[in-house]
Amino acid sequence: MASTSRYARFATPLVHWLALLGLCAAYLQGGLQKAWDIHAAVAETAHFGLSPAVPITLLTIVLELGASLAILTGRGRWLGALLLAVFTLAATFVANRFWQMPQPERFGAMNAFFEHLGLVGGFLLVAWHDLRDRAAAPSPAGY
């Protein structure tokens, strides 16, 4: 049987942070891309029938970047993760309605739909771990 310490070198804060970065990468890229090309981002929002497009786009940018930063910094990690889980689930039902698409579009949209459900699960797991760790941590004296 292998020693646990042999595997502990992979369970480092750096590896943990890199895993969180990977989970947030699409939201960081998406938020920055939308901010850099706000007109295209508003057009995309309108394309999906969301109105009013400008405020929704601005909220999306703030959510994608703010929640990602909360996750990466650990400040409000559970909340950032829950917000991105809800956002991703909602966006998945808006953008990947594979059941309404003809082939060959259906194939790609179905894959994207279920990949996004995997992201939702990942964010829920991040929130669960963060809340569990907070509950297990000793409270500061007097609180």
Mean pLDDT of the chain: 93
Burial degree of 50 (CB within 10 A; 0-12, 13-18, 19+): middle
Mean pLDDT calculated for residue range 2-14? 79
Mean pLDDT calculated for residue range 94-115? 93
Q: Is the peptide bond before 102 cis (omega within 30 degrees of 0)?
A: no
On whether residue 100 sits in a domain, the answer given is yes
Is the confidence at residue 60, as pLDDT, over 90? yes
On whether residue 32 sits in a domain, the answer given is yes
* Half-sphere exposure at residue 135, Cβ-oriented, CA atoms within 13 angstroms: 7
Percent of residues, the chain, with pLDDT higher than 90: 86
On whether residue 96 sits in a domain, the answer given is yes
Give dist(CA 89, CA 33) in Å, integer: 21
On whether residue 116 sits in a domain, the answer given is yes
Contact 41, 87 (CB under 8 A): no
On whether residue 118 sits in a domain, the answer given is yes
On whether residue 141 sits in a domain, the answer given is no
Is the confidence at residue 136, as pLDDT, over 80? yes
Instruction: Tell the residue number behind the tokens 């090309």, with chain if given.
Output: 37
Task: Return the pLDDT at 2.
Answer: 54
pLDDT band at 141 (very low <50, low <70, confident <90, very high): low
pLDDT band at 4 (very low <50, low <70, confident <90, very high): low
Mean pLDDT calculated for residue range 37-50? 97
Report which of 61, 66, 59, 69 is spatially closest to residue 31, judged by C-alpha positions: 61
Is the confidence at residue 126, as pLDDT, over 70? yes
On whether residue 2 sits in a domain, the answer given is no
Is the confidence at residue 122, as pLDDT, over 90? yes
Encode pLDDT of 80-93 as tens digits. 999 999 999 999 99
Mean pLDDT calculated for residue range 8-35? 95
DSSP the chain: ---HHHHHTTSSHHHHHHHHHHHHHHHHHHHHHHHHTHHHHHHHHHHTT-SSHHHHHHHHHHHHHHHHHHHHH-TTHHHHHHHHHHHHHHHHHHH--GGG--TTHHHHHHHHHHHHHHHHHHHHHHHHHHHHHHHHSPPPTT-
Number of domains in the chain: 1
Domain range spanning residue 43? 13-136
